[in-house]
Amino acid sequence: MQPVRTVALMIAFLIGALIVVVFTPRFLKSFTVRHWKKVRGRVTETWISRSQTDASNSVYMPQIRYSYSYADREYRGERIGVAQGLASDYRSEAQELIAKYAPGTEVEVYVNPKKPSDAQLEMGVAWSLLVGVLLGIFFMVFAVAMLIGSD
């Protein structure tokens, strides 16, 4: 096998492994949220942040700040859900989400009882993160198959 090809396949394997390492813990965390404590909180601030992806495109991300109490302590949070994959190419989609969370609105907050500063507004399995895990596994399997098959 050519050394350049071997190096390229090893890089593909490492990229796959990195993707798996990044996405797997977040995906698994989305399953544990259902065991977190539900408390009442209040939205304190909402806004939409915009990031320029290139000269003509932007991505809009809803931002929500809220406060909540747990075990007689006050906390502040900003996480909406585990995936946080709420960015959109359309400002209107970000506005739809923050419309549900107007400042002053009372909300349910899911609090990690082992680490009460870890909280979020929305519960649910982050299936979108599974795509990342599977993509990483694909890179790894493809690289190994190509390395083994070329001998």
- Pick 10 or 83 by higher pLDDT: 10
Model pTM above 0.95: no
Q: How far apart are CA 148 and CA 47, in angstroms?
A: 51
119 touches 69 (CB < 8 A): no
Q: How many residues in the chain?
A: 151
Q: How far apart are CA 109 and CA 24, in angstroms?
A: 24
Domain boundaries, the chain: 1-35+125-151, 37-122
> pLDDT for 123-145, tens place per residue?
776 667 778 888 899 989 988 88
